[in-house]
Structures are given as structure tokens and as C-alpha cells.
Amino acid sequence: MVSPKRTKLKDLALHLDLTESTVSRALNGYADISPKTVDRVTQAAVQLGYKPNQNARRLATGQAEAVAYVIPQNHSSLAEPFVSQLLRGLNDSLSRRGWDLLVSHAVSAEDEAAKIHRLISSGRVSGVVLTRPFRNDARIKLLQDAGFPFVVHGRCSHCDDYSWYDIDNELAIKTAATHLIALGHQRIGFIGAPLYYNFAFQRLEGYKSALAEAGIPYDETIVEIAEMKDDAGESAASNQLDSGKPPTAFVCSSDTQALGVLAAIRTRGLTAGEDVSVIGYDGLSIGRHANPPLTTMAQPQAQSGRELGDILLAVIDGDDPASHQILKRAELVLRNTAGPLRDRNYH
């Protein structure tokens, strides 16, 4: 249990009969050290298993060599596969520099602000990744005012002057709704996400836009705002289906909601994709095993973490944040829940 004392810079210097400063510079690639000395030093370093004390280094350089990923306080457990994928991508990006990844998980909105404050003003991290921005998000203002490097996974209503990586939510939902319209549907319900999320707003806009383009009047009685979980989707769809004039199709703001919608449809003895069509949003691979397999808008999640990391590193290095804004598009994954309009025969 006695930990063998670590070799520190001093030991290395003594061993090599050099000064600590020389060894340090040799290790950090300074130009004023002769190549052979550099060789000697690096060899001795691996030989003695020297790992610089990161805290000392961070203190001396003022660079934390770490970034934090701030997980939003409330999000449904079903949506969480994304978090893991994203962390993996972030890690990939950061480890090329040997940087660390912190995750910070707040329990409330105020707690979140406090945590961010602590993170950025205690030298723990040199950058922050934010997710799920609100329409106008206090966290972003906080970071901007502090002049602290950050990147947002998503956009706010006002997003010109910072870095972000986002999916074109509006276009995605518009694509979904337009697909249903092309299948003959005219009465299309929309299951939205809470509108304080900007992406929720954008998705609603996409829905409206598709209708407008097709000349279908917007009917707010078939638009429901629900949390992004299956139960919420199920009850929202239930309301609609049990109403006098139910939609013949649904566009959902998430796959988890869509799974609930499918459940509501099954419960009523109907068949999704035949009696009622459904399109989800997220492209969860699990949707393949839904009943029936869920048609959905798949967003390219795989690289998102990687790209967010790269952007953040660039901004930390001094790049203009506004020059790093990436907008990707989702694509329609055709499975079995979106079919042509039929004669309504289900009540």
C-alpha cells in the first residue's frame, strides 16, 4: 500500500546532472536545447517513468488543459444514449492533446449557473461545452460576460457571436412533415418539446413551415407540447386520438415521444404506418426494434462530440468563436411507421 514515490522533475534533473529548468524546457520542446540533450532527457524520462505533476504544471502555465461538459439538469433517461456517444467523441478530440474531460451535472438551473461559475473561475477548466440551450440562455450570457471559451451544442435565438454545432431542427421537422404530406396526410399532429428549449421552438417552426408550404392551415388543437419521454408522448397522442377529429399522422420531437405515440396507437387497436403514421426524431437505433419499427429523422450524432471538441480547442487557442458555427442536417430514416393516407376507418 506504500506508493513508490513518484519521480519528479528534480529527480530527473539530478539523474541527468542538469537543472530542472533545462529538463523542463527539453521536455516541452523549447528551441534552445540541443538535440542530443533533448534525446538524453526524453530517454531518461521514460526510463524513470516521469509523469509531470499536472497540478503544478497547470498552476505554472495558467492553462487547465481540461474542459467541462455540462449536462443539463433535466433530461429523460431514454435520451441518454446520446450523452455517452458525445462524451466519447469529446474524449477523442481532447486526448489528442492529452487534455482532460470533466463532466458536471447540475440538479437545478441555479445550481447549474453556480457550478459553471465555479468551474470557470477556479482554474479547473479552460473551456466549457454547453448543451440544450434555452431560447435565451443565462449560461451563455454568463460565459460571454466572463470572456470564457465555450461552445454550444445547439443554438439560441441569438447566436451570431459564439461557437455552436447544431442540427437544422427546422429543416428536419419540415422534411418529416413534408414527407407525410406527400403521403397524402393533411391532418398532421405535432408533439412538441417544451418551448423554452430553442430546438423545440425551431422544430415547431419547421412543422408550421411545412404546413404553410403545402397550404394547410395551422391548427393549434393538434399541437401538443410534451416532455421528451415516452409517457408524455403516449398521453399527448392519446388526447389527440380520442378527440373528435384525430390526426392521421404525427410528427414527434423525439423518438422517445414517438415510442409513446406508438404505444397509444397500439392500445387503440390501430396499426402505426397503416391507420396512423408517425415520424420520430433522433434516429435512435433502438427504434428498429419498436413495434412497428419507427420511421424517424436521424441526426448525425457520431461526430458531434468530436467536432464540438475540435471547435472548443480552436476557440481556446484564440480563434474567433463566430467563425466556428456548424449546421448539419438530419435525414429521414424510412422504417415502417409512415405510410400513405388511408380512408379513415378506425372509429
| Cβ 284 vs Cβ 230: under 8 Å | no
Provide the minimum distance between the beta carbon of 53 and a copy of itself in the complex, in angstroms, as a whole number.
5
Neighbours of 247 (CB within 10 A): 23
> Among residues 7 and 131, whose Cβ is nearest to DNA?
7
Backbone angles phi, psi at 89, to 5 degrees: -60, -45
21 touches DNA (CB under 7 A)? yes
Assess 34 for contact with a copy of itself (CB under 8 A). Answer: no
Question: Which of 49, 215, 217, 269 lies at the binding interface for a copy of itself (CB under 8 A)?
Answer: 49
Contact of 324 with 311, CB cutoff 8 Å = yes
- 71 touches, from a copy of itself, DNA, none (C-beta below 5 to 8 Å by class): a copy of itself
CB of 193 to DNA, least distance (A): 41
Cβ nearer to DNA, comparing 42 with 76: 42
**Nearer CB in complex with DNA: 45/86:** 45
Residue tagged 466572463 (cell numbers): 146
Using CA atoms of 313, 315, 321, 324 in order, give the dihedral in degrees to the nearest 10. Answer: -30
**Residues numbered 46-105 forming contacts with DNA, rule: CB under 7 A:** 50, 52-53, 56-57, 59-62
Give the separation between CA 232 and CA 226, rounded to whole angstroms.
6
User: Which listed range, 13-21, 35-43, 166-174, 254-262, lies at the site for a copy of itself (CB under 8 A)?
Assistant: 254-262
**What angle do the packed helices 35-47 and 9-16 form, to 10 degrees?**
120
**Rounded Cα gap, residues 212 and 204, in angstroms:** 12
Cα gap 201→181, rounded to integer Å = 21
Is 10 among the residues that bind DNA (CB under 7 A)? Answer: yes
Q: Does 20 bind DNA (CB under 7 A)?
A: yes
The rounded distance, in Å, linking the Cα atoms of 179 and 174 is: 8
Q: How far is the CB of 7 from DNA (least distance, A)?
A: 7
How many of the other CB atoms lie within 10 Å of CB of 185?
24
**Partner whose footprint covers residue 269, from DNA, a copy of itself, none (CB < 5 to 8 Å by kind):** none
When asked if residue 11 is in the footprint of a copy of itself (CB under 8 A), the reply is no
One-letter amino acid identity for 77? S
Stretch that binds DNA, among 24-32, 95-103, 230-238, 318-326 (CB under 7 A): 24-32
- C-alpha 347/C-alpha 344 separation (Å) is 8
User: Which residues are bridge partners to 134 per DSSP?
Assistant: 197
Contact of residue 91 among DNA, a copy of itself, none (CB under 5-8 Å per partner type): a copy of itself
Out of a copy of itself, DNA, none, what residue 148 binds, judged by CB under 5 to 8 A for its kind, is: a copy of itself
Number of other residues whose CB lies within 10 A of the CB of residue 323? 10
Q: Are strands 100-105 and 223-225 parallel, antiparallel or unpaired?
A: unpaired
What is the phi/psi pair of residue 165, to 5°? -135, 125
CB of 287 to a copy of itself, least distance (A): 9
Is position 19 an interface residue for DNA (rule: CB under 7 A)? yes
Residues engaged in binding a copy of itself (CB under 8 A): 1-4, 6, 49, 51-56, 58-59, 64, 66, 71, 77-78, 80-81, 83-85, 87-88, 91-92, 95, 98, 100-105, 107, 115, 117-118, 121-124, 146-148, 230, 259-260, 262-263, 285-286, 288-292
Q: Which residues bind DNA (CB under 7 A)?
A: 6, 8-10, 17-22, 24-28, 30, 32-37, 50, 52-53, 56-57, 59-62
